[in-house]
Amino acid sequence: MSRCVVVGSGAREHALAWGLAKTSDVVVTPGNAGIAAHGIACVEASPLELSADLFVIGPEQPLVDGLADQLRAQGKTVVGPGLEGARLEGSKAYMKEFLSAAGVPTAGFGAFDDEREAIGFLATMQPPYVVKTDGLAAGKGVLVTDDFDEACADVREKLSGAAFGDAGTTVIIEEGLDGEECSLLVLCDGTTTRPLVPAQDFKRVGDANQGANTGGMGAYAPMVAMTPLLVDQVMAEIIAPTLDELLRRGIDFRGVLYAGVMLTSRGPKLLEYNVRFGDPETEVLVPLYGEGLFDLLARVGGGRLDGATLAAQGFAVTVVLAAHGYPQHPRAGDVIHGLGADGQLAEPVEGVIIFHAGSTRDAEGRFVTSGGRVLAITGAGATMAQARERAYRAVALVTFEGRVVRSDIALAV
């Protein structure tokens, strides 16, 4: 059996490890208590000290720090771009410059490190006002508001470095776009690109998309509103010029190009690129690909994506259970009820898998909360309605004090 190392400690890595483990031996570093309870090996070791046929890097930070380059320098096969490719996510100012050079449709923007200039530019924009930090901010560095004064205050706070430190000392101000959002995760082996089925993520903390932006409160796939025709359009107008530009810059991008796309009345526009699997998108996508995940990812890392079969089946809905106080001040230490010793449902529901993110075990061996997003509960089924019903049936069985959960994931689909 092939051996595989997954780098990371969230529900995304749990889902990747679970999918890869169907056909390979998987080790996760560092992993978490829920992954280990699910029977997947977790080790506290630098990936550089491990050996495997395939390395899959989950989070953006190690990619931006150059881990994929270091592994490749050791001759390893890796899913995840090197430092140069990761800049597409690591700096929004770089990404916007890249998109302009590539001719990719995106929101108009300005990048500023001077407060007066930033606010002067903001005054020329129409609401909604969009203010972003330049660097990595775990999905929380974006403000979208109709309130001009709130936008100005946000510019000041971000430029002061108070909110995001160095990541925030340049702000991006963008034209506000309107429409449905889609996460299109595109596999790229350096020269060939293939889209996974489109997913939709729910970014706001509250029902009906109210409240603060988060890392993602739930997702479903396939996103039916993103028709095959629209996928083709995004591949032609957004992904193809991006690949051309990557090649022009000499970047051998092997990993996931995650396009955050807004379906505007004037066609699809790119909101942002991430250079990795989405979270919670991965928790809905992995179950759809059955036993095919290892082969697909081995082809991405090995530059053999041309000719791969991508066979997705069924529907999946993921609901995130977040800790009390998420996203601003998540509380740790709340006991999670309804899980068995293996971290899955004590009272199983068909088609449901629980992926762990911010959970750990207390001195008595009970699962307790230890991070913002605690669990991602995925229901899979033959229809979206069945997948959703299963996911929410499981959500009702897993409780902890003050949990933050949306009740409308995939409701309007």
DSSP assignment letter at 404: B
Contact 199, 266 (CB under 8 A): no
245 or 281: CB nearest ligand GLY: 281
13 or 60: CB nearest ligand AMP: 60
Look at residue 177 and give the partner it binds from ligand AMP, ligand GLY, none, a contact being a CB closer than 5 to 8 Å depending on partner kind: ligand AMP
Stretch in the footprint of ligand AMP (CB under 6 A) among 173-181, 243-251, 296-304, 329-337:
173-181
170 or 274: CB nearest ligand GLY: 274
**Cis link prior to 327 (omega < 30° from 0)?**
yes
Give residue 300's identity as a one-letter amino acid code.
V
Residue 178: burial class (beta carbons within 10 Å; 0-12, 13-18, 19+): exposed
State how far the Cα of 300 lies from the Cα of 239, in Å rounded to an integer: 16
State how far the Cα of 216 lies from the Cα of 277, in Å rounded to an integer: 13
According to the binding rule CB under 6 A, does residue 181 interact with ligand AMP? yes
Look at residue 213 and give the partner it binds from ligand GLY, ligand AMP, none, a contact being a CB closer than 5 to 8 Å depending on partner kind: ligand AMP
194 or 269: CB nearest ligand AMP: 269
Give the residue carrying structure tokens 């000392």: 169
Contact 105, 238 (CB under 8 A): yes
Stretch in the footprint of ligand AMP (CB under 6 A) among 114-122, 172-180, 344-352, 399-407:
172-180
217 or 368: CB nearest ligand GLY: 217
Question: Residue 320 has which token pair?
Answer: 């995130």
According to the binding rule CB under 6 A, does residue 9 interact with ligand GLY? no
State how far the Cα of 265 lies from the Cα of 366, in Å rounded to an integer: 50
Look at residue 272 and give the partner it binds from ligand GLY, ligand AMP, none, a contact being a CB closer than 5 to 8 Å depending on partner kind: ligand AMP
Sites for ligand GLY among residues 279-298 (CB under 6 A): 279, 281
Contact 39, 17 (CB under 8 A): no
**Residues near ligand GLY, by CB under 6 A:** 139, 201, 216, 274, 278-279, 281
**Residues near ligand AMP, by CB under 6 A:** 107, 130, 132, 139, 142, 144, 174-177, 181, 203, 213, 260, 271-272
